[in-house]
Amino acid sequence: MKTQRDTFWDTLFELAKKDRDIIVISADMGAPSLDKFRTELPHQFINTGIAEQNTILVGSGLAKEGKKVFVYAIASFLTLNCVEKIRVQNAMMNIPLNIVGVGAGFSYPDSGPTHHLLEDIAVMRSMPNIDTLSITDATMAQAVAENYGSYTNTKYIRLERQPLGEIYNETKDISFEDGMTEIFKGEDTLVIANGVMLLKAHKLIKEHKLKCGLLDIYQIPINSKKLVEVASQYKRIVTIEETFLPGGFGSAVLESLNDHELSIPVKRIGIPIEKGFCYEYGGRDEILKYYGITEESILADITKGL
């Protein structure tokens, strides 16, 4: 099973061979899929070294001159370490840059809290002219790369580090116009998630044959009209995220529903900010367990309304 990262870069490499305006800038990141850019398309590849803020600035400068630029680094450093640069170059000046970060949530479980990315959704969605694409599987990573020609504003593309499973069979199942896909239709309860937590919810719903809906919202800002269209068919909503709850994914869902005066109870599952950062080690599931999130607890919250 290919990783989201390798699928994304392999797809973009094939496109870059035909489009010399595609430029990849890496903050000293290594991957076999990136090596092809280095060796076969050296004039379309730049290594800025471990200097994420400079990576954003160089990328924005090239994008301002009409290049289709993809900057790449570990997501926690490419976003939080570069907030002011992104705010000025991309949010204020609206220079269209593709910010590709690997390591969403607890993708780097053994690297400690510096590499745990729990605030990016809240931070990036607070700025104008920036769309966040939270990638669910390799097929979606391919679709995002193939869709590069339509991007007119900054895209923050969140990739998982490890291959976690597949949801989508074909790229046509993914709609960037809607920004979401209803995986399962159900009764009463609608589960909303993306990325790794969407995969966890998908597994639980299939294993336990639950009669609930499952909605993958992979694009923020949320298409509120589409969300309301789907959510209005249900009596209860459960959101699941691997980020801090304040300002995060569940908050974005709540805001969209509230702005359209759709009154449906929403249960948010996510990282409680009261517990702060985790300094313990032992794998992704163990860290989630530290925060009180397990398959059993998720299942209990979902089935409460069934």
- Candidates 48, 39, 44, 8; CA nearest to 24 is 44
* Pick among 3.40.50.1820, 3.30.530.20, 3.40.1400.10, 3.40.50.970: CATH of 4-159: 3.40.50.970
> What is the C-alpha separation between 4 and 79, in angstroms, rounded?
19
The conformational region for residue 260 under phi > 0 = left, psi -120 to 50 = alpha, else beta, is: alpha
DSSP string for residues in 37-52: HHHH-GGGEEE--S-H
pTM of the predicted structure, to 2 decimals: 0.96
Q: What is the reported pLDDT for 149?
A: 84
Give the other-Cβ count within 10 Å of 64's Cβ: 14
- Per DSSP, 236 falls in state E
For the chain, which residues make up each domain, given as ranges? 4-159, 175-303
Q: What is the reported pLDDT for 306?
A: 64
Q: What is the reported pLDDT for 40?
A: 97
Q: What is the reported pLDDT for 31?
A: 81
Assess whether the region 4-159 and the region 175-303 belong to the same CATH fold.
Answer: yes
Q: What is the reported pLDDT for 32?
A: 82
Topology annotation, domain 175-303: Rossmann fold (3.40.50)
Asked if 252 and 220 count as a contact pair (C-beta separation under 8 A), the reply is: yes
Q: What is the reported pLDDT for 305?
A: 63
> What is the C-alpha separation between 157 and 143, in angstroms, rounded?
12
Instruction: Assess whether the previous peptide bond of 246 is cis (omega < 30° from 0).
Output: no
Instruction: Assess whether the previous peptide bond of 109 is cis (omega < 30° from 0).
Output: no
Lookup: tokens for 107: 């993708």
**How would you write the pLDDT of the chain (306 residues) with one tens digit per residue?**
789 999 999 999 999 999 999 999 999 887 888 999 999 999 999 999 999 999 999 999 999 999 999 999 999 999 999 999 999 999 999 999 999 999 999 999 999 999 999 999 999 999 999 999 999 999 999 999 999 888 899 999 999 988 889 999 999 999 999 999 999 999 999 999 999 999 999 999 999 999 999 999 999 999 999 999 999 999 999 999 999 999 999 999 999 999 999 999 999 999 999 999 999 998 999 999 999 999 999 999 999 866
